[in-house]
A and B are shown apart, each in its own frame.
Chain A
Amino acid sequence: MEKLTLMFFKKECMGCHACEVACKQEHELGIGPRLVRVVENAPDFFPIHCHHCANAPCKVSCPVEAISRNERGIVLIDKGLCIGCKACLEACPFGAMQYDNATETAVKCDLCIERLNHNEAPACSNACPTRCIFWGVAAKLNEKLEKPVLSG
């Protein structure tokens, strides 16, 4: 099966934070964990997000094998198994792995797998006013990023 991923065309991120709030709403998260987070260093913005890495460092670091990568390439965390040791937070090179005090587990981007199952785009990508959040088959996204186009 072709592997999916999430990509941000950083040059077109204008720092509006709509993706962050859309993600929180979709995943019913409170203050604390930010599965996508946009950092400002005016006039540039840097979206920090999960890359759904092959051979994911977070997965490798997890002592209880709570993290897996499914057949579509989506790196998922099983909250039932997670012991909250935060090894994955340190291992992720992007700072994408988050910790949720409410559940005392690590929490991460699941590429909005529920939405994908219903043929809906990830919540962040749906909201983005500059349409700079792409998701889909990793290989094809690379092409798109070279020449980003507006959908519609």
Chain B
Amino acid sequence: MGAVKKIRTVCRSCHGGCGVIAHVRDNKVIKVEGDPASPISQGTMCSKGLAITQLAYHPDRIRHPMKKTEKGWERISWDDALDTVVAKFKSVMDASGPESIVIGQGTGRDYESHLYRFANLLGTPNVLTAGHMCYVSRVGATLITCGNLPVADWHGHPRCIVMWGCNPQWTNPDEHKGVDFWSAYKKGAKLIVIDPRKGFLAKKADLWLQIRPGTDGALAMGFMNVIIEEDLYDKDFVNHYVHGWDAFVERAKEYPLEAVESITWIPKDLIRRAARMYAKTKPAILQWGVPTEQTINCTDCTRALVGLMAATGNLDAPGGNVFFVPPKVRSVSAFSRHKDLAPEQRKKQLGGDQYKLAARVALISPKAAWDAILTGKPYPLKAGLLCGTNPVVTRANAREAYAALKKLEFLAVMDFFMTPTADLADIFLPAGTWLEQNHIADNWKRHGYALAREKAVDIGECWQDHKIFMELGKRMGQEWFSTVETALDYLLEPSGLTWEEFKKVGYLKGEMAYHKYRQKGFSTPTGKVELLSTALEKWGHDPLPKYTEVPESPVSTPDLLDEFPYILNAGLRTPTFFHSANRMIPWLREIRPDPIVEIHPETAKKHGIAAGQWVTIASPRGRVKQRAKLNFGIDPRVVVAEHGWWFPEMKEEGHGWDISNINILTDNAPETLDPVMAATNLRVCLCNISPCEDQEEMNGWRN
């Protein structure tokens, strides 16, 4: 047995960022530990990251390229695999143009720079990501409102924290991790929690607002109404730095608290107290999460939240929501060569005419992709390359996603395991985990850091995603780099460091300055915070934030209530899983063996559902099964279900993708999407519940 070598690196089991020390012996990672010197995680780690060795060395992991033949999957060489993809892409491009190739990824995993470069140099504007309803949608909406994403400044001594549909300790919060929130909170900050479910934070909160799922936009306008009515806003700021304040004030008047109470189900006095607390306790952070984005209100809700930050003088102020200064490294967008996508190709972007904000941040809606494949309109997508994504489980209206990917003429996937999506592919390209890659992590985030993720080991024939894009790109005749590391040198060039030097430094941080707008204004057309958006105006949309009722709800579709009386809050996050990942990891699956649907005990009783029983959850689009957990901390009118479930232990094709997959129930009809961002309504619809008839079968099928 050789000696143990310790390698400092950076986790990516969620969006990543936590510092890790990997213990390597005989070219095998035997253990990982938190890195106490990490500015992001300060030595802590979560269950997902700590379980990486069970993922990396999992017996089911695909460790070499594969090709689907009539006899099933067969092992092939990298040359064979890459040549197959390139030959197919070239023939599709010759016949139908590069726009008939869709390139896709799931949640942000530090390879968007390489993925976009490949797509742009290929000439396809059709990049499919999770960004339409997660994070990038937040970036897009803030971009047109205040020029950049305002990020929580935990180290700036906030006195008040509004946790809005967000649980940064359980799940990935982007930017900074839960540990920073926790230390700010422990220093005595007031805590306001907006969550339909009484969780750990709600229990700790000074004020807990139990909101009706999907109505965050109305609540934000209600807060604003109080702040304006009670004269709690920062006059100097709004006078000098807000575009359209008067119009915005008029709009906020349309949201008196009586109305907001009836929309959100939150007592108006509680809304008033929360709005006052946020406006009066300075500085204050507003940390918001994806539930606010995964609705038809995505853009408007984000813009209203920025309105709150601006009106209270917490924008770019220490301890508020700030614009961190990036370190001196080349940006993801420069590396991606967005400028090299020809204008005539850009014009062909699916849905680009309609979803202007999505087009602005260079992505398409999954609905547009599925429609193009299934209907051939406006033109058919023929081939695809999907990287680290499992849309048949994670995108709304999963059956449509499944049918579309199945119909695609040619599909290549990059992943660790044979997932339900990979099952539909023709070529499998085995990607390396974060233990198997050299990369500059986190530089796409907006917290001012770039982190060195150093390779600890190689496993099988797996390649890091960056290398796969690069080698494919070179074979397509694109301009790339000789090695992964020379590309990193190029990214690092502005800092004066090489990759070898950066590895030793560990991380770079941009030098922070606050109140930058006082010198430079905001990066918007008017130079101000555009509560009245010139971009939305130009695109022919309502330039002021408003609340649109959830498309399928007791208010919008009362006729459905007889059959589907409950609001489904689809997408409960759990600490051990990240979206559809990790279901095959023994340590994590032991903790959460089954998909869980949370039901209020009174509601459960009505349907004869006992704790631990399997429940059929049905919506107008289908039905799935999850196991009941009774929870007094949710509204009896709401049912909360986990997302991302498939069953890696089922070895046949599909891996049980349609048994518990909550997205079989969610909707993606065009009228349910955010009108500029195409955000999918992945969170809220109507449902019904009943005990499964086949309890015994369900209990036994996993064994």
Contacts and interface: CB of A to CB of B under 8 A. Distances in A.
Name, among B51, B177, B183, B587, the residue most crowded by chain A CB atoms within 10 Å (CB to CB).
Answer: B587
A150 B179 CA distance: 10
A128 B182 CA distance: 12
A33 B633 CA distance: 30
Interface string A2-22: 000000000000111110111
Interface string B39-51: 0001111110011
Contact of B50 (A15, A25, A150, A152): A25
B202 A127 contact: no
Contacts of B199: 42-43
Given A16-B46, A20-B591, A22-B45, A42 B34 contact: no
Interface residues of A, number: 28
Interface in A117-131: 123, 126-131
A102 interface: no
Contact of B633 (A14, A24, A32, A42): A42
B203 interface: yes
Contacts of B504: none
A99 to B, nearest CB: 14
Name, among B43, B44, B50, B169, the residue most crowded by chain A CB atoms within 10 Å (CB to CB).
Answer: B50
A17 B51 CA distance: 11
A45 B591 CA distance: 14
Interface string A37-62: 00000111100000000000000000
Nearest to A30: B586
A26 interface: yes
A15 B186 contact: no
Contacts of A15: 170, 200, 575
A130 B53 contact: no
A43 B46 contact: no
A39 B177 CA distance: 23
Main SS class of interface, A: loop
B8 to A, nearest CB: 16
A26 B198 contact: no
A31 B186 CA distance: 35
Interface string B181-217: 0110010000000000111111100000000000000
Contacts of B182: 129-131, 150
A129 B44 contact: yes
Given A17-B591, A25-B53, A128 B44 contact: yes
A76 to B, nearest CB: 22
Main SS class of interface, B: mixed
Interface string A117-152: 000000100111111000000000000000000101
B244 interface: no
Contacts of B200: 14-15, 43, 45
Contacts of B33: 123, 126-127
B34 A127 contact: yes
Contacts of A129: 44, 46, 169, 177-179, 182
B562 interface: no
Contacts of B201: 14
Interface string B556-581: 00000000000000000001100000
B34 A126 contact: yes
A150 B44 CA distance: 13
B697 interface: no
A127 B170 contact: no
Contacts of B631: 42
B575 A17 contact: yes
Contacts of B34: 126-127
Given A31-B586, A129-B44, A129-B179, A21 B50 contact: yes
B230 interface: no
Interface string B581-624: 00000111011000000100000000000000000000000000
Contacts of B346: none
Name, among A26, A43, A127, A129, the residue most crowded by chain B CB atoms within 10 Å (CB to CB).
Answer: A129
A44 B204 CA distance: 11
Contacts of A128: 44
Contacts of B575: 15-18
Contacts of A14: 169-170, 200-201
Name, among A20, A21, A128, A131, the residue most crowded by chain B CB atoms within 10 Å (CB to CB).
Answer: A21
A32 to B, nearest CB: 8
Nearest to B181: A129
Given A25-B53, A129-B178, A17 B186 contact: no
A129 B45 CA distance: 7
20 contacts: A16-B46, A16-B169, A16-B575, A17-B576, A18-B46, A18-B47, A22-B45, A24-B587, A25-B31, A25-B32, A30-B586, A43-B202, A126-B34, A127-B44, A127-B46, A127-B50, A129-B179, A131-B44, A150-B183, A152-B42
- Across the A-B interface, give the 5 residue pairs with the lowest CB-CB distance, nearest first: A14-B200, A21-B50, A21-B47, A129-B44, A16-B575
